[in-house]
Structure 1
Amino acid sequence: MSHSASADVCIVIAAKDAEATIARAVMSALAQTEAREVVVVDDASNDQTEKAARQCDDGSNRLKVVRFNENRGPSAARNHAISISRADVIAVLDADDFFLPGRLERLLQQEDWDLVADNIAFIADRAVASGIEERIQEFPTESYIIDFVGFVEGNISRRAAQRGEIGFLKPLMRRSFLERHRIRYNEVLRLGEDYDLYARALACGARYKVTRSCGYAAVVRDNSLSGRHRTYDLERLYEADCAIMANNADLDRAAMSALKRHARHVRDRYELRRFLDVKNHEGGMRAVVQLLGRPSTIRPVAAGILGDKVERFFRRGRPRLRDNEMQEIRYLL
């Protein structure tokens, strides 16, 4: 599983209504000397995303832009990009985000991996234009292995603590490993599709290496598509966890226990959202009647509502930060 720094990389960018940001993403990808291919899939945008992406062509014949006629979701877009590419290594870049200079070179210097990821800098949208990326902190390049249990546990949010975000990491992935285990993105998912793919890879024995050095910049926008999801999306993510359990019955007790906790966490979020949907559309009495008809859902719904009220109560006593006081950069790791 050793890997040399000269490996070819395909950078996959799924884009939907990303006219304002796609050029920055594409140009950061083309600036990586290890990028053999940059494949942009416009997922039926309503703006000029496709045109803006094509205008970034640097004449190196590395950029390929494809457009879907109907919206199929990020998983389908990424799967299509993988299917029409040939590079040894797959890298995923969101259309809002960008790579920092030298990212691929640093990651490819790591050895013995099937997936390898680095730290993510979350940058406030308003701060990007000011050149804030030049102030991104340098971290040690030492790496460590994240196992199945650590990964799954790192995706479980806990109140009064930073949300579970390990699934947000954007590892390079060896095509040979994905092909050998027939792993692709689950096209049913529009929430947690990254988490699901990495979890399935780890269940198949993937060696997942992580370094705290930072090479990926994620731009935080209020209207980001990734920041919105439907109740239906939570249900599909719960079903994806159940599928991993059903298809990997040989996972050890610790791994299966972690997966069950994540599934329960997602299911509880789904039940709360489902209750609130009924309440908002059919009224509080109808929501309570449905809740009492399914006693197993009372605990997660009650806990969720209580937790939200407690958070709002304590938030009410805090002074509201002005825009120029808000944190402009934070790091995932």
Structure 2
Amino acid sequence: MTAAARTNVCIIIAAKNAADTITIAIASALAEPEAAEVVVIDDGSTDDTATVARAADDGTGRLNVVRFEENRGPAAARNHAISISQSPLLGVLDADDFFFPGRLRQLLSEDGWDFIADNIAFIDAAQAASAHGKIGRFTPSPRLIDLVGFVEGNISRRGVRRGEIGFLKPLMRRTFLDQHGLRYNEMLRLGEDYDLYTRALAKGARYKIIHSCGYAAVVRGDSLSGSHRTIDLKRLYEADRAILAESRLSREAEAVIRWHERHIRDRYELRYFLDLKNNEGFKNAIAYALTHPGALPAIVGGILADKTERFRRPRSPAPVALGGTGDVRYLLEGFAMERGE
């Protein structure tokens, strides 16, 4: 790949009802000299997302805004952006997040990868404007992560706040995606990133992670990524089953994907039980549990864990919002172990 192609990046922004935030997201992407294209897909918004996005154009001809008349989901939006873009490198930016200056330059300084991601800083919306000054300077400490390590890093545990590494936003080589026929699974509206990266790793992708932090995830109470439907959990564990059926995996990789599948399926069974209780009454919910004995441990264990949640302290630093404390929280555990000069 030529030096010019190495810095030819398309930034993809899938947006729904993001008129209040998308200007900052687009501006941060266009501020990166390595961004040859910024493709915004308005995914059936009912507000002025597309109009506001077009108004953020900096006149360089790099911004392309496309509007879907109906909502099709982030996977479909990103796939469409890939299909109309030309750049050999692809990156995703959520419509309510932003890049810190120099993010792409830092990522592109590394070699030997098909996917490369940096750390994420979780920022409270009220402090987003001053967040850059709070981010420490860290040595990159690059390392490759394999399929087993990636899937294990996406299994959350009680008492530990969310830290799934499927939330990372890597740059991706188009050639690898095309060679293996990989795109986002449009049936998924939860875990579509996890699914794509897992399938890529199963195909032998080199996924490098550096500890420098160039991505700001803005935490809001009404964030779309913070909510999902019960059916979304079902489709995600079914996606794990598809990977198991379609991929030639090592025994260890197969075991960890089965663990993730059970983890998501247990969450689904608990949610489905609670939906039945709320919508059809307690008797119908109990009838479901008794006729599906395989779901009972997840239902009973989940209810007990929820009842005792307030008595447990989180066991690790959490990627949560600043919350007025002034402390920046990062996605990757152990991120602050090494600071650069």
- TM normalised by structure 2 equals 0.92
Counterpart residue identity of residue 199, structure 2 = R
Aligned to 2:61: 61
Q: Counterparts of 1:1-333 in structure 2 under 5 Å?
A: 6-129=6-129, 131-248=130-247, 250-314=248-312, 325-326=324-325, 329-333=328-332
Aligned to 2:318: none
Aligned to 1:319: none
Cα separation, 2, equivalents of 1:4 and 1:310: 56
Structure 1 residue ranges (4+ consecutive) displaced by more than 4 angstroms after TM superposition? 1-6, 323-328
Cα separation, 2, equivalents of 1:291 and 1:6: 54
Aligned to 2:335: none
Between the aligned residues of both structures, percent identity stands at 60
Q: Which moved more, 1:219-228 or 1:154-163?
A: 154-163
> 1:29, 1:35 within 8 Å by CA — same for their partners in 2?
yes
Give per-residue Cα distances to partners, 1:224-250, cap 9 Å, x unaligned: 0010000000000011000000010x2
Cα RMSD after superposing both structures: 1.6
Cα separation, 1, equivalents of 2:293 and 2:326: 42
Cα separation, 2, equivalents of 1:31 and 1:270: 41
Give per-residue Cα distances to partners, 1:100-140, cap 9 Å, x unaligned: 100001100100000000000000112113x1222112221
Q: Which moved more, 1:106-115 or 1:277-286?
A: 277-286
Q: CA 1:132–1:308 in structure 2 vs 1: closer, same or farther (change >3 Å)? A: same
Aligned to 1:318: none
Counterpart residue identity of residue 237, structure 2 = Y
SS at match of 1:281: helix
Measured after TM superposition, the shift of residue 18 of structure 1 is 0.1
Aligned to 2:339: none
Counterpart residue identity of residue 286, structure 1 = N
> 2:5, 2:88 within 8 Å by CA — same for their partners in 1?
no
SS at match of 1:47: coil
Cα separation, 1, equivalents of 2:77 and 2:207: 24
Q: CA 1:324–1:36 in structure 2 vs 1: closer, same or farther (change >3 Å)? A: closer
SS at match of 1:24: helix
> 1:121, 1:331 within 8 Å by CA — same for their partners in 2?
yes
Counterpart residue identity of residue 150, structure 2 = F
Measured after TM superposition, the shift of residue 326 of structure 1 is 4.7
Counterpart residue identity of residue 33, structure 1 = P
SS at match of 1:215: strand
Measured after TM superposition, the shift of residue 5 of structure 1 is 8.3
Cα separation, 1, equivalents of 2:70 and 2:60: 29
Q: Which moved more, 1:254-263 or 1:158-167?
A: 158-167
Cα separation, 2, equivalents of 1:200 and 1:172: 16
Measured after TM superposition, the shift of residue 142 of structure 1 is 1.7
SS at match of 1:311: helix
Q: CA 1:302–1:84 in structure 2 vs 1: closer, same or farther (change >3 Å)? A: same
Q: CA 1:201–1:3 in structure 2 vs 1: closer, same or farther (change >3 Å)? A: farther
SS at match of 1:65: strand
> 1:3, 1:108 within 8 Å by CA — same for their partners in 2?
no
Cα separation, 1, equivalents of 2:212 and 2:163: 20
Measured after TM superposition, the shift of residue 327 of structure 1 is 6.1
Measured after TM superposition, the shift of residue 314 of structure 1 is 4.7
Measured after TM superposition, the shift of residue 325 of structure 1 is 4.9
Measured after TM superposition, the shift of residue 324 of structure 1 is 6.0
Give per-residue Cα distances to partners, 1:173-193, cap 9 Å, x unaligned: 000000000100000000000
Counting matched residue pairs gives: 324
Measured after TM superposition, the shift of residue 7 of structure 1 is 2.4
Give per-residue Cα distances to partners, 1:263-294, cap 9 Å, x unaligned: 00000000000000001111112111110011
> 2:118, 2:215 within 8 Å by CA — same for their partners in 1?
yes
Cα separation, 2, equivalents of 1:19 and 1:153: 36
| Structure 2: 5+ residue stretches without partners | 314-321, 333-341
| Structure 1: 5+ residue stretches without partners | 316-322
